[in-house]
Structure 1
Protein backbone atom coordinates (compact mmCIF):
# COMPACT_ATOMS: atom_id res chain seq x y z
CA UNK A 1 0.00 0.00 0.00
CA UNK A 2 2.99 2.33 0.23
CA UNK A 3 2.57 3.16 -3.45
CA UNK A 4 -0.63 4.99 -2.49
CA UNK A 5 1.27 7.38 -0.22
CA UNK A 6 2.41 10.68 -1.68
CA UNK A 7 6.01 11.86 -1.12
CA UNK A 8 5.26 13.91 2.00
CA UNK A 9 3.27 11.04 3.48
CA UNK A 10 6.17 8.67 2.88
CA UNK A 11 8.29 10.81 5.20
CA UNK A 12 6.03 9.50 7.97
CA UNK A 13 7.73 6.15 7.38
CA UNK A 14 11.06 7.90 8.00
CA UNK A 15 9.72 9.29 11.27
CA UNK A 16 8.56 5.82 12.28
CA UNK A 17 12.01 4.40 11.48
CA UNK A 18 13.64 7.12 13.59
CA UNK A 19 11.29 6.31 16.46
CA UNK A 20 12.03 2.60 16.13
CA UNK A 21 15.76 3.33 16.29
CA UNK A 22 15.28 5.58 19.33
CA UNK A 23 13.32 2.83 21.07
CA UNK A 24 16.36 0.54 20.79
CA UNK A 25 18.69 2.99 22.56
CA UNK A 26 19.47 2.40 26.24
CA UNK A 27 19.22 6.17 26.79
CA UNK A 28 15.97 6.51 24.82
CA UNK A 29 13.77 9.52 25.47
CA UNK A 30 10.57 7.53 24.92
CA UNK A 31 9.48 4.06 23.88
CA UNK A 32 7.44 3.41 20.76
CA UNK A 33 6.77 -0.34 20.49
CA UNK A 34 4.79 0.13 17.28
CA UNK A 35 7.27 2.24 15.32
CA UNK A 36 9.13 -0.61 13.61
CA UNK A 37 5.84 -2.10 12.46
CA UNK A 38 4.73 1.24 11.04
CA UNK A 39 8.09 1.94 9.36
CA UNK A 40 7.95 -1.30 7.38
CA UNK A 41 10.76 -1.92 4.90
CA UNK A 42 10.77 1.54 3.35
CA UNK A 43 11.26 3.57 6.52
CA UNK A 44 14.72 2.14 7.27
CA UNK A 45 15.76 2.73 3.65
CA UNK A 46 14.79 6.40 3.94
CA UNK A 47 16.60 6.65 7.25
CA UNK A 48 19.74 5.18 5.71
CA UNK A 49 19.74 7.96 3.08
CA UNK A 50 19.37 10.61 5.77
CA UNK A 51 22.13 9.06 7.87
CA UNK A 52 24.49 9.03 4.90
CA UNK A 53 23.89 12.72 4.29
CA UNK A 54 24.01 13.66 7.96
CA UNK A 55 27.01 11.59 9.03
CA UNK A 56 29.37 11.51 6.02
CA UNK A 57 32.21 9.03 6.48
CA UNK A 58 34.89 11.32 5.07
CA UNK A 59 34.34 14.59 6.97
CA UNK A 60 32.85 16.02 10.14
CA UNK A 61 29.10 16.39 10.44
CA UNK A 62 27.83 19.83 9.37
CA UNK A 63 24.11 19.04 9.27
CA UNK A 64 21.83 18.84 12.30
CA UNK A 65 21.69 15.38 13.84
CA UNK A 66 18.37 14.04 12.57
CA UNK A 67 18.17 11.17 15.11
CA UNK A 68 18.72 13.52 18.05
CA UNK A 69 16.38 16.13 16.61
CA UNK A 70 13.58 13.64 16.04
CA UNK A 71 14.00 12.12 19.50
CA UNK A 72 13.76 15.54 21.12
CA UNK A 73 10.81 16.57 18.95
CA UNK A 74 8.87 13.42 19.75
CA UNK A 75 9.51 13.69 23.48
CA UNK A 76 8.71 17.43 23.52
CA UNK A 77 5.35 16.89 21.84
CA UNK A 78 4.66 13.79 23.97
CA UNK A 79 5.03 16.00 27.03
CA UNK A 80 2.96 18.78 25.47
CA UNK A 81 0.06 16.44 24.71
CA UNK A 82 0.24 14.69 28.09
CA UNK A 83 0.16 18.00 29.94
CA UNK A 84 -2.79 19.20 27.87
CA UNK A 85 -4.70 15.96 28.42
CA UNK A 86 -4.26 16.13 32.20
CA UNK A 87 -6.47 19.21 32.27
CA UNK A 88 -10.05 17.97 32.88
CA UNK A 89 -11.30 21.00 30.91
CA UNK A 90 -9.44 19.79 27.79
CA UNK A 91 -11.59 17.11 26.15
CA UNK A 92 -10.22 16.91 22.58
CA UNK A 93 -6.88 16.24 20.90
CA UNK A 94 -6.39 16.53 17.14
CA UNK A 95 -3.35 15.33 15.17
CA UNK A 96 -3.36 16.92 11.73
CA UNK A 97 -1.88 15.21 9.85
CA UNK A 98 -1.47 12.02 11.89
CA UNK A 99 0.92 10.16 9.59
CA UNK A 100 2.39 7.05 11.22
CA UNK A 101 2.06 8.46 14.72
CA UNK A 102 1.22 5.90 17.40
CA UNK A 103 0.68 8.09 20.46
CA UNK A 104 -2.95 6.94 20.66
CA UNK A 105 -1.64 3.39 21.06
CA UNK A 106 1.51 3.80 23.14
CA UNK A 107 0.71 6.56 25.66
CA UNK A 108 -1.74 6.54 28.59
CA UNK A 109 -4.69 8.91 28.23
CA UNK A 110 -7.34 10.15 30.68
CA UNK A 111 -10.86 8.85 30.19
CA UNK A 112 -12.23 12.27 29.25
CA UNK A 113 -10.12 12.62 26.09
CA UNK A 114 -11.47 12.21 22.57
CA UNK A 115 -8.55 11.74 20.20
CA UNK A 116 -8.84 12.56 16.49
CA UNK A 117 -6.39 11.58 13.76
CA UNK A 118 -6.84 13.50 10.51
CA UNK A 119 -5.16 12.33 7.32
CA UNK A 120 -5.84 11.05 3.85
CA UNK A 121 -7.63 7.72 3.55
CA UNK A 122 -4.53 6.03 2.10
CA UNK A 123 -2.47 6.94 5.17
CA UNK A 124 -5.10 5.85 7.66
CA UNK A 125 -5.71 2.61 5.79
CA UNK A 126 -1.98 1.84 5.74
CA UNK A 127 -1.73 2.46 9.48
CA UNK A 128 -4.85 0.41 10.22
CA UNK A 129 -3.42 -2.50 8.27
CA UNK A 130 -0.04 -2.31 10.03
CA UNK A 131 -1.62 -2.03 13.50
CA UNK A 132 -4.29 -4.70 12.97
CA UNK A 133 -5.23 -6.23 16.30
CA UNK A 134 -3.67 -3.45 18.39
CA UNK A 135 -6.21 -1.36 20.27
CA UNK A 136 -5.80 2.37 20.95
CA UNK A 137 -5.62 3.44 24.58
CA UNK A 138 -8.05 6.35 24.13
CA UNK A 139 -11.45 7.10 22.60
CA UNK A 140 -10.02 7.26 19.12
CA UNK A 141 -11.60 8.54 15.90
CA UNK A 142 -10.01 8.73 12.45
CA UNK A 143 -11.01 11.37 9.91
CA UNK A 144 -10.15 10.33 6.37
CA UNK A 145 -9.82 13.63 4.54
CA UNK A 146 -7.16 15.62 2.75
CA UNK A 147 -6.18 18.73 4.74
CA UNK A 148 -6.23 20.71 1.50
CA UNK A 149 -9.91 19.85 0.99
CA UNK A 150 -12.53 22.55 1.43
CA UNK A 151 -14.53 20.51 3.92
CA UNK A 152 -12.11 18.82 6.29
CA UNK A 153 -13.54 20.81 9.20
CA UNK A 154 -17.02 19.43 8.42
CA UNK A 155 -15.62 15.90 8.37
CA UNK A 156 -13.91 16.46 11.72
CA UNK A 157 -17.13 17.74 13.28
CA UNK A 158 -19.04 14.79 11.83
CA UNK A 159 -16.58 12.50 13.61
CA UNK A 160 -17.50 14.06 16.96
CA UNK A 161 -15.28 17.10 17.29
CA UNK A 162 -17.00 20.02 19.05
CA UNK A 163 -15.72 23.47 18.00
CA UNK A 164 -17.38 25.01 21.07
CA UNK A 165 -15.11 23.07 23.43
CA UNK A 166 -11.35 23.54 23.96
CA UNK A 167 -9.09 21.36 21.87
CA UNK A 168 -5.40 20.62 21.53
CA UNK A 169 -3.86 20.57 18.05
CA UNK A 170 -0.55 19.09 16.97
CA UNK A 171 0.76 20.00 13.50
CA UNK A 172 3.91 17.88 13.49
CA UNK A 173 6.17 17.44 10.48
CA UNK A 174 3.94 19.51 8.21
CA UNK A 175 4.59 23.22 7.88
CA UNK A 176 7.98 23.17 6.16
CA UNK A 177 6.60 20.91 3.43
CA UNK A 178 3.85 23.29 2.34
CA UNK A 179 3.99 26.77 0.77
CA UNK A 180 3.61 29.83 2.96
CA UNK A 181 0.09 30.50 1.70
CA UNK A 182 -0.98 26.99 2.68
CA UNK A 183 0.64 27.33 6.11
CA UNK A 184 -1.25 30.55 6.72
CA UNK A 185 -4.49 29.02 5.51
CA UNK A 186 -3.96 26.02 7.79
CA UNK A 187 -3.46 28.24 10.84
CA UNK A 188 -6.47 30.33 9.86
CA UNK A 189 -8.68 27.27 9.55
CA UNK A 190 -7.51 25.73 12.83
CA UNK A 191 -8.07 29.04 14.60
CA UNK A 192 -11.60 29.20 13.22
CA UNK A 193 -12.63 25.92 14.87
CA UNK A 194 -10.48 26.09 18.01
CA UNK A 195 -12.31 27.57 20.98
CA UNK A 196 -10.55 30.15 23.17
CA UNK A 197 -8.14 28.41 25.52
CA UNK A 198 -7.37 25.69 22.98
CA UNK A 199 -3.75 24.66 22.67
CA UNK A 200 -1.55 24.30 19.60
CA UNK A 201 1.92 22.96 18.86
CA UNK A 202 3.93 22.64 15.67
CA UNK A 203 7.48 22.43 14.40
CA UNK A 204 8.78 24.90 11.85
CA UNK A 205 12.19 25.81 10.45
CA UNK A 206 13.59 29.29 9.88
CA UNK A 207 14.08 30.76 6.42
CA UNK A 208 17.86 30.24 6.45
CA UNK A 209 17.38 26.49 6.85
CA UNK A 210 15.96 26.47 3.32
CA UNK A 211 18.94 28.18 1.68
CA UNK A 212 22.16 27.72 3.64
CA UNK A 213 24.85 25.87 1.66
CA UNK A 214 25.63 23.56 4.57
CA UNK A 215 22.00 22.38 4.54
CA UNK A 216 22.11 21.45 0.87
CA UNK A 217 22.84 17.73 1.25
CA UNK A 218 19.87 17.19 3.53
CA UNK A 219 17.58 19.42 1.48
CA UNK A 220 18.58 17.51 -1.64
CA UNK A 221 17.55 14.23 -0.02
CA UNK A 222 14.04 15.49 0.62
CA UNK A 223 13.81 17.19 -2.76
CA UNK A 224 14.90 13.95 -4.38
CA UNK A 225 12.03 12.19 -2.68
CA UNK A 226 9.63 14.74 -4.17
CA UNK A 227 8.96 16.64 -0.93
CA UNK A 228 11.23 19.70 -0.81
CA UNK A 229 11.15 22.05 2.15
CA UNK A 230 9.13 25.07 1.05
CA UNK A 231 8.53 27.38 3.99
CA UNK A 232 10.33 28.74 7.04
CA UNK A 233 9.71 31.59 9.43
CA UNK A 234 12.23 33.62 11.40
CA UNK A 235 9.49 34.91 13.69
CA UNK A 236 7.15 32.01 14.43
CA UNK A 237 5.62 33.80 17.42
CA UNK A 238 4.49 36.65 15.17
CA UNK A 239 3.22 34.22 12.53
CA UNK A 240 0.97 32.36 14.98
CA UNK A 241 -0.07 35.60 16.68
CA UNK A 242 -1.68 36.77 13.44
CA UNK A 243 -4.18 33.92 13.80
CA UNK A 244 -4.98 34.39 17.46
CA UNK A 245 -2.42 32.05 19.01
CA UNK A 246 -0.15 33.27 21.80
CA UNK A 247 2.87 30.97 21.54
CA UNK A 248 6.44 30.41 22.63
CA UNK A 249 9.05 29.06 20.22
CA UNK A 250 11.92 27.01 21.63
CA UNK A 251 14.79 25.33 19.82
CA UNK A 252 16.37 21.92 20.35
CA UNK A 253 19.11 22.51 22.88
CA UNK A 254 17.19 25.17 24.80
CA UNK A 255 16.59 24.26 28.42
CA UNK A 256 12.98 23.28 27.69
CA UNK A 257 13.91 21.12 24.69
CA UNK A 258 17.20 19.39 25.32
CA UNK A 259 16.76 16.23 27.46
CA UNK A 260 20.53 15.90 27.47
CA UNK A 261 20.60 14.96 23.79
CA UNK A 262 21.16 18.02 21.58
CA UNK A 263 24.79 17.89 20.39
CA UNK A 264 25.19 21.38 18.88
CA UNK A 265 25.36 24.98 20.14
CA UNK A 266 22.15 27.00 20.12
CA UNK A 267 22.88 30.47 18.68
CA UNK A 268 20.91 33.37 20.20
CA UNK A 269 17.84 34.38 18.23
CA UNK A 270 19.46 37.62 17.02
CA UNK A 271 22.25 35.74 15.20
CA UNK A 272 21.53 35.70 11.47
CA UNK A 273 22.20 33.12 8.76
CA UNK A 274 22.10 30.01 10.94
CA UNK A 275 19.75 27.07 10.63
CA UNK A 276 17.06 26.76 13.25
CA UNK A 277 14.13 24.56 14.08
CA UNK A 278 11.42 25.83 16.37
CA UNK A 279 8.98 23.91 18.53
CA UNK A 280 6.05 26.28 18.74
CA UNK A 281 3.53 25.78 21.52
CA UNK A 282 0.84 27.94 23.08
CA UNK A 283 -2.84 28.77 23.32
CA UNK A 284 -5.72 30.26 21.38
CA UNK A 285 -6.69 33.64 22.77
Structure 2
Protein backbone atom coordinates (compact mmCIF):
# COMPACT_ATOMS: atom_id res chain seq x y z
CA UNK A 1 0.00 0.00 0.00
CA UNK A 2 1.51 3.32 -1.01
CA UNK A 3 1.36 6.32 1.25
CA UNK A 4 0.42 9.89 0.46
CA UNK A 5 3.71 11.82 0.72
CA UNK A 6 2.35 14.88 2.47
CA UNK A 7 -0.35 13.43 4.70
CA UNK A 8 -1.15 15.71 7.61
CA UNK A 9 -0.36 14.81 11.19
CA UNK A 10 -3.38 13.81 13.27
CA UNK A 11 -5.28 16.26 15.38
CA UNK A 12 -3.58 16.60 18.76
CA UNK A 13 -6.54 17.94 20.68
CA UNK A 14 -6.43 16.87 24.31
CA UNK A 15 -8.76 13.97 25.11
CA UNK A 16 -12.01 14.72 26.86
CA UNK A 17 -13.80 12.69 29.50
CA UNK A 18 -16.97 12.86 31.50
CA UNK A 19 -14.96 12.32 34.70
CA UNK A 20 -11.48 13.18 35.95
CA UNK A 21 -8.89 10.48 35.47
CA UNK A 22 -8.63 8.13 38.42
CA UNK A 23 -5.42 6.77 39.85
CA UNK A 24 -4.78 3.41 38.27
CA UNK A 25 -2.70 1.08 40.41
CA UNK A 26 -4.08 -1.80 38.33
CA UNK A 27 -1.94 -0.77 35.36
CA UNK A 28 1.07 -2.48 36.93
CA UNK A 29 -0.69 -5.84 36.56
CA UNK A 30 -1.11 -5.50 32.78
CA UNK A 31 1.35 -7.27 30.51
CA UNK A 32 2.59 -5.94 27.15
CA UNK A 33 -0.29 -7.20 25.03
CA UNK A 34 -2.85 -6.15 27.64
CA UNK A 35 -1.44 -2.61 27.68
CA UNK A 36 -2.20 -2.19 23.99
CA UNK A 37 -5.83 -1.79 25.08
CA UNK A 38 -4.74 1.45 26.76
CA UNK A 39 -3.28 2.61 23.45
CA UNK A 40 -6.62 1.97 21.77
CA UNK A 41 -8.38 3.93 24.51
CA UNK A 42 -5.94 6.83 24.06
CA UNK A 43 -6.59 6.87 20.31
CA UNK A 44 -10.33 6.93 20.99
CA UNK A 45 -9.94 9.74 23.49
CA UNK A 46 -7.99 11.86 21.00
CA UNK A 47 -10.52 11.12 18.25
CA UNK A 48 -13.36 12.19 20.53
CA UNK A 49 -11.73 15.60 20.90
CA UNK A 50 -11.43 16.27 17.18
CA UNK A 51 -13.85 18.68 15.53
CA UNK A 52 -14.37 16.09 12.75
CA UNK A 53 -14.66 13.10 15.09
CA UNK A 54 -16.19 9.91 13.70
CA UNK A 55 -17.59 9.02 17.12
CA UNK A 56 -17.40 10.19 20.71
CA UNK A 57 -16.19 8.00 23.54
CA UNK A 58 -16.56 9.90 26.82
CA UNK A 59 -14.98 7.04 28.78
CA UNK A 60 -11.81 6.64 26.73
CA UNK A 61 -9.63 9.20 28.51
CA UNK A 62 -10.19 7.66 31.94
CA UNK A 63 -9.54 4.20 30.50
CA UNK A 64 -6.35 5.26 28.71
CA UNK A 65 -4.76 7.13 31.59
CA UNK A 66 -1.27 8.59 31.34
CA UNK A 67 0.10 5.19 30.36
CA UNK A 68 -2.11 5.01 27.29
CA UNK A 69 -1.14 8.52 26.24
CA UNK A 70 2.53 7.59 26.64
CA UNK A 71 2.09 4.58 24.37
CA UNK A 72 0.32 6.78 21.84
CA UNK A 73 3.21 9.25 21.87
CA UNK A 74 5.59 6.43 20.90
CA UNK A 75 3.34 5.30 18.06
CA UNK A 76 2.97 8.88 16.86
CA UNK A 77 6.73 9.37 16.79
CA UNK A 78 7.13 6.25 14.64
CA UNK A 79 4.20 7.13 12.39
CA UNK A 80 5.02 10.78 11.82
CA UNK A 81 8.85 11.08 11.91
CA UNK A 82 10.34 14.51 12.43
CA UNK A 83 12.37 14.08 9.26
CA UNK A 84 11.02 12.36 6.17
CA UNK A 85 7.63 11.33 4.89
CA UNK A 86 5.26 8.97 6.62
CA UNK A 87 5.60 5.40 5.32
CA UNK A 88 3.43 3.47 7.77
CA UNK A 89 -0.38 3.64 8.04
CA UNK A 90 -1.76 6.59 9.97
CA UNK A 91 -2.64 4.84 13.22
CA UNK A 92 -4.99 7.62 14.45
CA UNK A 93 -6.97 7.58 11.20
CA UNK A 94 -6.96 3.79 11.02
CA UNK A 95 -8.21 3.42 14.59
CA UNK A 96 -10.92 6.03 14.05
CA UNK A 97 -12.18 4.22 10.96
CA UNK A 98 -11.95 0.80 12.62
CA UNK A 99 -13.90 1.94 15.68
CA UNK A 100 -16.62 3.59 13.60
CA UNK A 101 -16.81 0.60 11.23
CA UNK A 102 -17.36 -1.83 14.09
CA UNK A 103 -19.67 0.62 15.89
CA UNK A 104 -21.93 0.56 12.83
CA UNK A 105 -21.51 -3.20 12.40
CA UNK A 106 -22.60 -4.02 15.95
CA UNK A 107 -25.50 -1.58 15.90
CA UNK A 108 -26.74 -3.05 12.60
CA UNK A 109 -26.48 -6.55 14.07
CA UNK A 110 -28.36 -5.49 17.20
CA UNK A 111 -31.16 -4.01 15.06
CA UNK A 112 -31.91 -7.52 13.78
CA UNK A 113 -34.72 -8.93 15.98
CA UNK A 114 -32.95 -12.32 15.92
CA UNK A 115 -29.89 -10.88 17.69
CA UNK A 116 -29.97 -11.69 21.39
CA UNK A 117 -26.26 -12.03 22.25
CA UNK A 118 -23.14 -10.07 21.38
CA UNK A 119 -19.65 -11.19 22.39
CA UNK A 120 -16.52 -9.01 22.48
CA UNK A 121 -13.40 -11.12 22.65
CA UNK A 122 -11.20 -9.57 23.80
CA UNK A 123 -13.07 -6.67 25.37
CA UNK A 124 -10.04 -4.53 26.24
CA UNK A 125 -11.04 -0.97 27.09
CA UNK A 126 -14.08 -1.06 24.82
CA UNK A 127 -16.95 1.08 26.09
CA UNK A 128 -19.66 0.39 23.52
CA UNK A 129 -21.80 -1.24 26.22
CA UNK A 130 -21.70 2.10 28.06
CA UNK A 131 -21.88 4.64 25.24
CA UNK A 132 -24.72 3.20 23.14
CA UNK A 133 -28.27 2.12 23.88
CA UNK A 134 -28.89 -1.54 23.07
CA UNK A 135 -32.15 -3.51 22.73
CA UNK A 136 -33.36 -5.05 25.98
CA UNK A 137 -33.29 -8.53 24.38
CA UNK A 138 -29.49 -8.38 23.95
CA UNK A 139 -27.09 -10.03 26.36
CA UNK A 140 -23.63 -8.46 26.07
CA UNK A 141 -20.64 -10.65 26.94
CA UNK A 142 -17.12 -9.25 27.40
CA UNK A 143 -14.22 -11.71 27.56
CA UNK A 144 -10.71 -10.72 28.53
CA UNK A 145 -7.90 -11.58 30.90
CA UNK A 146 -8.49 -10.93 34.61
CA UNK A 147 -6.03 -8.02 34.92
CA UNK A 148 -7.64 -6.17 31.99
CA UNK A 149 -11.17 -6.48 33.33
CA UNK A 150 -10.09 -5.58 36.88
CA UNK A 151 -8.44 -2.38 35.64
CA UNK A 152 -11.44 -1.54 33.45
CA UNK A 153 -13.87 -2.07 36.32
CA UNK A 154 -11.74 0.20 38.51
CA UNK A 155 -11.69 2.98 35.92
CA UNK A 156 -15.42 2.76 35.19
CA UNK A 157 -16.49 2.49 38.83
CA UNK A 158 -19.77 4.29 39.37
CA UNK A 159 -20.95 4.01 35.76
CA UNK A 160 -23.39 1.41 34.50
CA UNK A 161 -23.53 -0.26 31.08
CA UNK A 162 -26.67 0.33 29.02
CA UNK A 163 -27.25 -3.35 28.30
CA UNK A 164 -27.51 -6.70 30.06
CA UNK A 165 -23.74 -6.90 30.54
CA UNK A 166 -21.78 -10.01 31.58
CA UNK A 167 -18.04 -9.80 32.09
CA UNK A 168 -15.89 -12.95 32.03
CA UNK A 169 -12.28 -12.92 33.22
CA UNK A 170 -10.83 -15.57 30.90
CA UNK A 171 -7.86 -16.10 28.62
CA UNK A 172 -8.94 -17.04 25.10
CA UNK A 173 -6.11 -19.57 24.90
CA UNK A 174 -7.31 -21.33 28.08
CA UNK A 175 -9.04 -24.71 27.66
CA UNK A 176 -12.29 -23.87 29.43
CA UNK A 177 -13.48 -20.40 28.42
CA UNK A 178 -16.43 -21.88 26.49
CA UNK A 179 -17.71 -23.50 29.69
CA UNK A 180 -17.43 -20.18 31.50
CA UNK A 181 -19.33 -18.43 28.70
CA UNK A 182 -22.13 -21.00 28.77
CA UNK A 183 -22.38 -20.68 32.55
CA UNK A 184 -22.78 -16.92 32.14
CA UNK A 185 -25.87 -17.43 30.00
CA UNK A 186 -24.57 -17.71 26.46
CA UNK A 187 -26.80 -19.93 24.32
CA UNK A 188 -24.96 -21.74 21.49
CA UNK A 189 -28.23 -22.85 19.92
CA UNK A 190 -29.23 -19.34 18.79
CA UNK A 191 -27.30 -16.93 16.53
CA UNK A 192 -24.71 -14.69 18.14
CA UNK A 193 -22.53 -11.78 17.03
CA UNK A 194 -18.79 -11.92 17.76
CA UNK A 195 -16.25 -9.12 17.47
CA UNK A 196 -12.53 -10.00 17.57
CA UNK A 197 -11.05 -6.49 17.46
CA UNK A 198 -7.35 -5.76 17.82
CA UNK A 199 -6.43 -9.38 18.47
CA UNK A 200 -5.43 -11.65 15.61
CA UNK A 201 -2.14 -10.03 14.54
CA UNK A 202 -0.73 -10.52 18.06
CA UNK A 203 -1.30 -14.29 17.94
CA UNK A 204 0.73 -17.09 16.37
CA UNK A 205 -1.02 -18.63 13.39
CA UNK A 206 -1.90 -21.81 15.29
CA UNK A 207 -3.60 -19.82 18.07
CA UNK A 208 -5.53 -17.72 15.54
CA UNK A 209 -6.85 -20.86 13.87
CA UNK A 210 -7.66 -22.44 17.23
CA UNK A 211 -9.67 -19.42 18.42
CA UNK A 212 -11.62 -19.15 15.15
CA UNK A 213 -12.37 -22.87 15.31
CA UNK A 214 -13.57 -22.64 18.91
CA UNK A 215 -15.74 -19.58 18.24
CA UNK A 216 -17.28 -21.30 15.23
CA UNK A 217 -17.98 -24.42 17.28
CA UNK A 218 -20.24 -22.54 19.70
CA UNK A 219 -21.85 -20.27 17.09
CA UNK A 220 -25.20 -21.32 15.66
CA UNK A 221 -25.83 -21.08 11.91
CA UNK A 222 -26.52 -17.47 10.98
CA UNK A 223 -24.16 -16.12 13.64
CA UNK A 224 -22.11 -13.08 12.73
CA UNK A 225 -18.38 -12.56 13.16
CA UNK A 226 -16.14 -9.56 12.55
CA UNK A 227 -12.42 -8.91 13.04
CA UNK A 228 -9.53 -6.78 11.82
CA UNK A 229 -6.57 -8.43 10.18
CA UNK A 230 -3.36 -7.53 8.34
CA UNK A 231 -1.83 -9.28 5.36
CA UNK A 232 1.50 -11.10 5.43
CA UNK A 233 3.41 -8.23 3.79
CA UNK A 234 2.40 -5.97 6.68
CA UNK A 235 4.53 -8.16 8.95
CA UNK A 236 7.75 -7.78 6.95
CA UNK A 237 7.53 -4.74 4.65
CA UNK A 238 10.52 -2.38 5.13
CA UNK A 239 8.11 0.57 5.20
CA UNK A 240 6.50 -0.94 8.31
CA UNK A 241 9.75 -1.34 10.24
CA UNK A 242 9.39 1.75 12.43
CA UNK A 243 5.90 0.86 13.62
CA UNK A 244 6.57 -2.86 14.00
CA UNK A 245 9.64 -2.07 16.08
CA UNK A 246 7.51 -0.14 18.59
CA UNK A 247 5.27 -3.14 19.25
CA UNK A 248 8.21 -5.54 19.31
CA UNK A 249 10.03 -3.33 21.81
CA UNK A 250 6.94 -3.36 24.02
CA UNK A 251 7.03 -7.17 23.96
CA UNK A 252 4.00 -7.71 21.72
CA UNK A 253 5.22 -8.16 18.14
CA UNK A 254 2.81 -8.71 15.28
CA UNK A 255 2.83 -12.42 14.45
CA UNK A 256 0.01 -13.26 12.06
CA UNK A 257 -1.36 -12.02 8.78
CA UNK A 258 -3.43 -13.45 5.94
CA UNK A 259 -3.50 -12.54 2.26
CA UNK A 260 -6.85 -14.29 1.82
CA UNK A 261 -9.05 -13.34 4.78
CA UNK A 262 -12.25 -14.58 3.13
CA UNK A 263 -10.69 -18.01 2.67
CA UNK A 264 -9.33 -17.99 6.22
CA UNK A 265 -12.76 -17.42 7.74
CA UNK A 266 -14.34 -19.69 5.14
CA UNK A 267 -12.22 -22.58 6.38
CA UNK A 268 -14.04 -22.32 9.71
CA UNK A 269 -17.52 -22.27 8.25
CA UNK A 270 -18.13 -18.56 7.58
CA UNK A 271 -19.09 -16.79 4.40
CA UNK A 272 -17.01 -13.65 4.81
CA UNK A 273 -16.23 -10.37 3.10
CA UNK A 274 -13.09 -8.28 3.64
CA UNK A 275 -12.94 -4.53 3.09
CA UNK A 276 -9.86 -2.31 3.28
CA UNK A 277 -9.81 1.10 4.98
CA UNK A 278 -10.45 3.69 2.29
CA UNK A 279 -12.85 1.49 0.34
CA UNK A 280 -16.59 2.26 0.25
CA UNK A 281 -18.10 1.62 3.67
CA UNK A 282 -14.71 1.82 5.40
CA UNK A 283 -13.54 5.35 4.70
CA UNK A 284 -15.77 7.98 6.38
CA UNK A 285 -13.67 10.62 4.62
CA UNK A 286 -10.64 9.91 6.78
CA UNK A 287 -8.33 7.38 5.07
CA UNK A 288 -5.34 9.40 3.82
CA UNK A 289 -3.69 6.84 1.52
CA UNK A 290 -4.38 5.22 -1.85
CA UNK A 291 -6.04 1.82 -1.64
CA UNK A 292 -4.25 -0.81 -3.76
CA UNK A 293 -6.37 -3.27 -5.75
CA UNK A 294 -6.59 -6.70 -4.14
CA UNK A 295 -4.64 -8.24 -7.00
CA UNK A 296 -1.58 -6.07 -6.43
CA UNK A 297 1.23 -7.93 -4.68
CA UNK A 298 3.98 -6.80 -2.34
CA UNK A 299 1.99 -4.12 -0.49
CA UNK A 300 0.87 -3.88 3.12
CA UNK A 301 -2.84 -4.12 3.78
CA UNK A 302 -5.37 -4.02 6.58
CA UNK A 303 -8.72 -5.79 6.36
CA UNK A 304 -12.00 -5.48 8.20
CA UNK A 305 -13.52 -8.95 7.87
CA UNK A 306 -17.17 -9.70 8.53
CA UNK A 307 -19.30 -12.71 7.78
CA UNK A 308 -22.00 -15.18 8.75
CA UNK A 309 -21.80 -18.76 9.98
CA UNK A 310 -22.99 -21.22 7.34
TM class by smaller structure: over 0.9
The reply to whether residue 9 of structure 1 matches residue 41 of structure 2 is: no
Count of matched residue positions in the alignment of Structure 1 and Structure 2? 285
Which residue of structure 2 aligns with residue 279 of structure 1? 304
- Distance, in Å, in 1 between the alignment partners of 2:176 and 2:285 is 42
The reply to whether residue 54 of structure 1 matches residue 82 of structure 2 is: no
Q: Secondary structure at the match of 1:275?
A: coil
Query: Offset of 1:47 from its aligned partner?
Result: 0.2
- Distance, in Å, in 1 between the alignment partners of 2:169 and 2:86 is 40
- Distance, in Å, in 2 between the alignment partners of 1:145 and 1:208 is 32
Query: Offset of 1:54 from its aligned partner?
Result: 0.3
Query: Offset of 1:6 from its aligned partner?
Result: 1.5
Which residue of structure 2 aligns with residue 19 of structure 1? 44
Q: Secondary structure at the match of 1:283?
A: strand
Q: Secondary structure at the match of 1:270?
A: coil
The reply to whether residue 180 of structure 1 matches residue 205 of structure 2 is: yes
Find the partner of 2:153 among 118, 121, 128: 128
Q: Secondary structure at the match of 1:253?
A: coil
Which residue of structure 2 aligns with residue 99 of structure 1? 124
Query: Offset of 1:256 from its aligned partner?
Result: 1.3
- Distance, in Å, in 2 between the alignment partners of 1:127 and 1:113 is 22
The reply to whether residue 144 of structure 1 matches residue 144 of structure 2 is: no
Query: Offset of 1:226 from its aligned partner?
Result: 0.2
Query: Offset of 1:113 from its aligned partner?
Result: 0.5
The reply to whether residue 221 of structure 1 matches residue 246 of structure 2 is: yes
Query: Offset of 1:43 from its aligned partner?
Result: 0.3
- Distance, in Å, in 1 between the alignment partners of 2:31 and 2:260 is 30
The reply to whether residue 155 of structure 1 matches residue 174 of structure 2 is: no
Query: Offset of 1:120 from its aligned partner?
Result: 1.1
The reply to whether residue 265 of structure 1 matches residue 270 of structure 2 is: no
Cα deviation per residue 1:165-209 (whole Å; 9 max; x = unaligned)? 110000000000000000000000000000000000000000000
The reply to whether residue 171 of structure 1 matches residue 175 of structure 2 is: no
Which residue of structure 1 aligns with residue 22 of structure 2? none
The reply to whether residue 63 of structure 1 matches residue 72 of structure 2 is: no
Cα deviation per residue 1:52-85 (whole Å; 9 max; x = unaligned)? 0000111111110000000000000000000000
Which residue of structure 2 aligns with residue 118 of structure 1? 143
TM-score calculated relative to the size of structure 2: 0.91
TM-score calculated relative to the size of structure 1: 0.99
Query: Offset of 1:107 from its aligned partner?
Result: 1.1
Q: Secondary structure at the match of 2:265?
A: helix
- Distance, in Å, in 2 between the alignment partners of 1:114 and 1:233 is 31
- Distance, in Å, in 2 between the alignment partners of 1:145 and 1:68 is 31
Which residue of structure 2 aligns with residue 192 of structure 1? 217
Q: Which runs of 5+ in 2 are unaligned?
A: 1-25
Cα deviation per residue 1:121-152 (whole Å; 9 max; x = unaligned)? 11111000000000000000001111111000
Query: Offset of 1:88 from its aligned partner?
Result: 1.0
